């Protein structure tokens, strides 16, 4: 049975599974703890129902928590161990296009056939044996349980688990004895659940520490580090600091994931893999003290790692051939204040590299055509690049901590957005599946997006030195905005759906042949996934 193939079962079978999974999504805020299904102890009941107790105990697990870089660290870790010859299982979240992305076997999304087999086995067993006292698990808990079932049935050599939220009460934390744990960079996120200080947040993340199990982290703010060290000491955990990868060790090659911050995540992955190899008796391939060079397997793992939605550049393929490259999406799922800084720096450097490569290409082509006696119309040299922001964030986050950081970080690199577009996520409709469609635009509540727009207009007016109080006065439905819910302002527009925003971008490119749009998509991994679904299908 091949992995990741297109030989999926009938579409209606998959859609049926997605409908069932969608029924587990609660319409409550994640901060609402009124539902008894939130009790952590229920997870152990589910594991008994699924008869996974012994199998989880036997798994060689790497468990990773943190605010930023969890997915990247897990991806590097999986890639390294797969290149060392191990049969790997990777559980991450969220998915961007298809829920099967969360379950990777040997670096590939689980195929639809296997997914459906394991999904319905878990679903039917839980449906038969749950009750009012032990209700069906909520959405993420079911997915975590499904991951354990998949990895147990597929007999993986190593299971790499990314914590979904927090650590202490996360569904993945039913693991009682992982081989090694990791904590990535900590910052302010999910404060409505995890606490208002870095110390409180660190305490929740340190909840994955287990007695006597070694753990690694990266340099942290002092308040966070002291809590991690305290929690580690109480559990007799040998907590060590992983150093960023020295680029010299890569012998001129680049990490598979873009961005300077990835050297930190790669360093943590090296420490986790080396310790896992030591503790599972595989001492032949080992690397913990970076002094000379990396083993070939580690090098290949780091340089070939791939992860959608993190510092990803995708040209729009639905523009006419002569305009190919005139609409480019720069996608990064940053959604915390600190990650806004990192995202902005990456975007600014990426568009600078794009400009330089375009200018060099145009100069070369111009020189070549001149020598051959032909005169060519080089659109590259005539086109001006315009930066557009496509943004949304969840309402539990504080946009006043996100948007100013993003704007200021970009401005420090000389980048200013001509327009900001605010849209709701498709995922807000509580529907899982690639075929999920949002309701008609007239039914969509865009009050949150209007809040983001007002904040943005105020920031731009402040940046320009004008009166921010007048920002709202310029906002109205424009003459071309025949679709209900479109709200245009001087520096921003709210669209009631993402397709409308994408079509607006494409129409503008078609109408104005002298402009290239570089669109930064950020604020939410869900939004990034929605965009990828539209521009890659």
Binding site membership: which residues? 93, 162, 190, 310, 332
Annotated binding site for ATP: 310, 332
C-alpha 123/C-alpha 116 separation (Å) is: 10
- Pick from 9, 6, 11: which is nearest to 435 by CA? 11
Partners of 185 in the β-ladder: 68
Q: In what order do the strands lie in the sheet with 312-315?
A: 312-315, 327-331, 515-522, 384-391, 419-422, 492-494, 487-488
Terminal C-alpha separation, the chain: 25
Q: Which two tokens stand for residue 82?
A: 């797969």
C-beta separation of 486 from 495 below 8 A? yes
Sign, CA torsion 119/124/125/130: positive
DSSP letters along 475-486, please? -B--TT--STT-
Which long-range contacts (C-beta less than 8 Å, at least 24 apart) are formed by 319-326? 319/506, 319/509, 319/510, 320/510, 322/379, 323/509, 323/510, 323/513, 325/516, 326/383, 326/509, 326/515, 326/516, 326/517
Count of Cβ atoms closer than 10 Å to residue 447 Cβ: 10
Residues written for the chain = 537
Phi, psi of 65 (to 5 degrees): -120, 175
Residue 239 DSSP SS3: strand
Distant-in-sequence, close-in-space partners of 492: CB < 8 Å, separation ≥ 6: 419, 420, 421, 422, 453, 456, 457, 460
3-class secondary structure, 1: coil
Residue identified by tokens 């991951």 is: 147
- Residues tagged in the binding site annotation for Mg(2+): 93, 162, 190
d(CA 349, CA 341): 12
Cα 520–Cα 345–Cα 261 angle in degrees, nearest 5:
110
Q: How far apart are CA 515 and CA 328, in angstroms?
A: 12
């Amino acid at each position: 049975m091949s992995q990741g193939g297109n030989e999926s079962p009938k579409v209606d079978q998959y859609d049926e599974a997605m409908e069932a999974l969608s029924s587990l999504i609660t319409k409550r805020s994640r901060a609402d703890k009124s539902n008894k299904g939130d009790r952590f102890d229920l997870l152990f009941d589910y594991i008994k129902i699924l008869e996974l107790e012994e199998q989880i105990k036997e798994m060689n697990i790497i468990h990773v928590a943190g605010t930023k870089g969890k997915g990247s660290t897990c991806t590097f870790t999986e890639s390294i161990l797969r290149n060392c010859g191990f049969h790997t299982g990777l559980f991450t979240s969220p998915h961007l296009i298809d829920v099967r992305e969360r379950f990777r076997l040997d670096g590939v999304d689980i195929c639809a056939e296997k997914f459906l087999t394991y999904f319905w086995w878990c679903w039917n067993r839980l449906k038969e044996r749950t009750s009012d006292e032990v209700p069906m698990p909520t959405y993420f808990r079911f997915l975590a349980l499904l991951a354990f079932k998949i990895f147990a049935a597929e007999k993986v050599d190593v299971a790499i688990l990314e914590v979904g939220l927090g650590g202490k009460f996360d569904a993945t934390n039913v693991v009682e004895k992982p081989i090694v744990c990791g904590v990535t960079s900590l910052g302010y996120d999910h404060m409505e659940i995890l606490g208002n200080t870095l110390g409180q947040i660190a305490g929740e993340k340190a909840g994955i520490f287990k007695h006597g199990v070694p753990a690694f982290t990266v340099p942290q703010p002092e308040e966070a580090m002291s809590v991690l060290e305290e929690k580690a000491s109480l559990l007799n955990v040998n907590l060590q600091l992983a150093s960023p990868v020295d680029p010299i060790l890569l012998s001129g090659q680049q990490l598979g994931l873009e961005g300077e911050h990835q050297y930190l995540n790669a360093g943590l992955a090296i420490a986790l893999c080396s310790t896992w190899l030591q503790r599972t008796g595989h001492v032949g391939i080992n690397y913990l003290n970076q002094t000379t060079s990396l083993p070939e397997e580690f090098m290949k793992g780091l340089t070939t790692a791939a992860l959608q939605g993190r510092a990803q550049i995708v040209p729009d393929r639905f523009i006419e051939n002569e305009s190919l490259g005139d609409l480019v999406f720069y996608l990064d799922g940053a959604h915390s204040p600190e990650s806004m800084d990192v995202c902005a720096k990456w975007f600014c450097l990426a568009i600078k590299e794009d400009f330089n490569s375009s200018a060099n290409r145009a100069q070369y082509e111009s020189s070549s055509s001149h020598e051959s006696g032909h005169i060519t119309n080089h659109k590259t040299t005539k086109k001006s690049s315009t930066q557009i922001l496509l943004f949304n964030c969840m309402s539990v986050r504080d946009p006043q901590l996100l948007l100013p950081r993003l704007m200021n970080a970009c401005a420090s690199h000389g980048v200013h957005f001509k327009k900001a577009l605010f849209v709701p996520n498709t995922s807000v409709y509580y529907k899982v599946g690639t075929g999920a469609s949002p309701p008609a635009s007239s039914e969509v509540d865009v009050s949150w997006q209007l809040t983001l727009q007002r904040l943005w207009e105020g920031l731009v007016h402040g940046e320009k030195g004008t009166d921010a109080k007048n920002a709202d006065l310029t906002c109205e439905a424009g003459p071309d905005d025949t679709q209900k819910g479109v709200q245009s302002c001087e520096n921003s527009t709210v669209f009631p759906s993402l397709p409308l925003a994408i079509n607006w971008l494409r129409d503008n490119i078609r109408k104005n042949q002298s402009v290239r749009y570089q669109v930064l998509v950020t604020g939410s991994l869900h939004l990034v996934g929605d965009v990828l679904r539209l521009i890659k299908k």
